[in-house]
């Protein structure tokens, strides 16, 4: 069940750490965020090291659908209502800048970058779409209401934002990483005030950036309450239409569409990790109904960290950790958010003020309804008297029949049937084979 990206590019290799070293900035995590941070620090002339516990891009980056857009669902109407127009503008500008940077970088990288229009549609609410168009217009974006899409079902309306992008995520990431100071198969075992202990030596560092998808340190920041993980599925179909754009349902459990070459990606079947959902069966039924002549070429699944208020956590890990930084909670918009995070963190580790830092601050208010949901899930699963247990915080794992894995409904850690770690925040395999 490898993604199309893994099957259409060659992965570079980096050596493991050998002994103790010193650096100004240690980056933990070799996904897109970590690679972009390393790239920007190198461009700025800052001494850095990136450590990846496995191989670079072996986590979520390899399973993305790689849509690069500042259109993140129907977020702008909500941001204006909750936080005001100035913070909504900051969010927009951080992500619009990210899109421009990708477009510029991709001129020098053979990764199939294509400019495409982006659409967020609603199956049942014209009003939501109209409100989002108005919000975009208030923010100076030329968004358009459209009532018909080249999709095999009717919609109440869609927000069209032109000139967004899509590309091959691994060709881009691998090209960017090839000349960076990276150590693979180098697992951070413990964070220290002035560095980290790995399985191959100590790294002394003045500043540390945690770019591990879900933050690995529970002691600070309360990320185990501020984040949960959401699983979604993709079918790549041959003999299916070219929809000439990027499309996503405004509902969290809705469907998404984009083309890559002669393939149509159909995404959906999503659910909170460790809970039941539509999985690939939902997509199979959809394809059989609407694209009966299509043939499945690939299938894969991915996982996203969801924040309390729909805005990522990017910045100082907590108020009490001035030299520790984090980027997480991308809410299904990992590509633009990764670039925005790299911009913000590159400034912050150099002691510079980022104009976008305020809106993404991890120390902002946690008073949102999702906090109670996350706390309830944690308590209920900690009290569930079953085995196996997640080594992260002891929650009862649930068996995922579709993917043959043990999944944690509290924080989203996943393990193979034999107990090998697949996805964090857990950092270790299960103690016993399941």
Task: Give the E-state strand segments of 88-211 in sequence order.
Answer: 114-122, 144-146, 157-166, 182-183, 188-192, 195-198, 201-210
Ordered by where they begin, the domains of the chain are: 6-64+170-226+309-360 (3.50.50.60), 113-165+229-306 (3.30.9.10), 369-423 (2.102.10.10)
Whether residue 433 has pLDDT greater than 50: no
Whether residue 312 has pLDDT greater than 60: yes
Q: How confident is the model at residue 306 (pLDDT cuts 50, 70, 90)?
A: very high
% of the chain surpassing 90 pLDDT:
82
- What's the helix, strand, coil split of the chain in %, to 5? 30, 30, 45
Residues with Cβ within 8 Å of residue 374, at least 6 apart in sequence: 225, 226, 227, 228, 308
- Residue 383 has a pLDDT of 78
Q: What predicted TM-score, i.e. pTM, was given to this entire model?
A: 0.94
Whether residue 147 has pLDDT greater than 60: yes
Q: What would the pLDDT profile of 377-417 be if each residue is shown by its tens digit?
A: 878 778 787 778 888 988 888 888 888 889 988 888 999 98
- Residue 434 has a pLDDT of 37
- Residue 385 has a pLDDT of 79
Q: What would the pLDDT profile of 149-181 be if each residue is shown by its tens digit?
A: 999 999 999 999 999 999 999 999 999 999 999
Mean pLDDT of 45-70: 95
């Amino acid at each position: 069940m490898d993604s199309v990206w893994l099957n259409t590019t060659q992965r570079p290799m980096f050596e493991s750490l050998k002994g103790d070293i010193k650096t100004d900035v240690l980056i933990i995590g070799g996904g897109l965020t970590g690679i972009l941070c390393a790239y920007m620090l190198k461009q700025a002339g800052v001494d850095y090291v990136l450590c990846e516990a496995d191989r670079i891009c072996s986590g979520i980056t390899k399973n993305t659908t790689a849509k690069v857009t500042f259109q993140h669902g129907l977020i702008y109407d909500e941001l204006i209502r909750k936080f005001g127009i100035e913070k909504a503008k900051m969010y927009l500008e951080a992500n619009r800048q990210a899109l421009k940077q990708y477009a510029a970088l991709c001129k020098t990288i053979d990764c199939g970058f294509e400019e495409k229009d982006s659409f967020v549609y609603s199956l049942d609410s014209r009003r939501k779409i109209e409100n989002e168009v108005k919000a975009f217009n208030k923010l100076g974006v030329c968004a358009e209401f459209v009532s018909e899409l080249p999709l095999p079902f009717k919609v109440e309306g869609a927000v069209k934002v032109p000139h967004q992008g899509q590309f091959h995520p691994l060709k881009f990431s691998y090209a960017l990483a090839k000349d960076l100071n990276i150590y693979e198969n180098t697992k951070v075992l413990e964070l220290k005030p002035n560095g980290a202990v790995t399985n191959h030596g100590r790294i002394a560092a003045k500043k540390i950036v945690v770019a591990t998808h879900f933050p690995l340190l529970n002691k600070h920041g309360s990320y185990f309450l501020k984040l949960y993980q959401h699983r979604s599925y993709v079918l790549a179909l041959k003999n299916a239409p070219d929809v000439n754009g990027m499309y996503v349902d405004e509902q969290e459990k809705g469907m998404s569409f984009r083309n890559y070459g002669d393939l149509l990606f159909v995404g959906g079947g999503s659910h909170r990790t460790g809970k039941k959902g539509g999985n690939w069966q939902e997509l199979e039924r959809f394809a059989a109904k609407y694209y009966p002549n299509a043939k499945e070429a690939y299938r894969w699944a991915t996982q996203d960290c969801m924040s309390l208020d729909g805005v990522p956590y990017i910045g100082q890990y907590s108020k009490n950790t001035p030299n520790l930084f984090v980027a997480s909670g991308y809410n299904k918009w990992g590509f633009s958010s990764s670039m925005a995070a790299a911009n913000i963190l590159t400034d912050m580790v150099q002691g510079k003020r980022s104009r976008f830092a305020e809106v993404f601050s991890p120390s902002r208010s946690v008073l949102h309804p999702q906090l109670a949901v996350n706390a309830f899930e944690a308590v209920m699963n900690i009290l569930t008297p079953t085995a196996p247990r997640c080594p992260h915080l002891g929650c009862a794992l649930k068996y995922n029949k579709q993917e043959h894995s043990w999944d944690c409904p509290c924080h989203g850690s996943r393990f193979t049937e034999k107990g090998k770690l697949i996805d964090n925040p857990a950092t270790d395999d299960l103690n016993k084979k399941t």
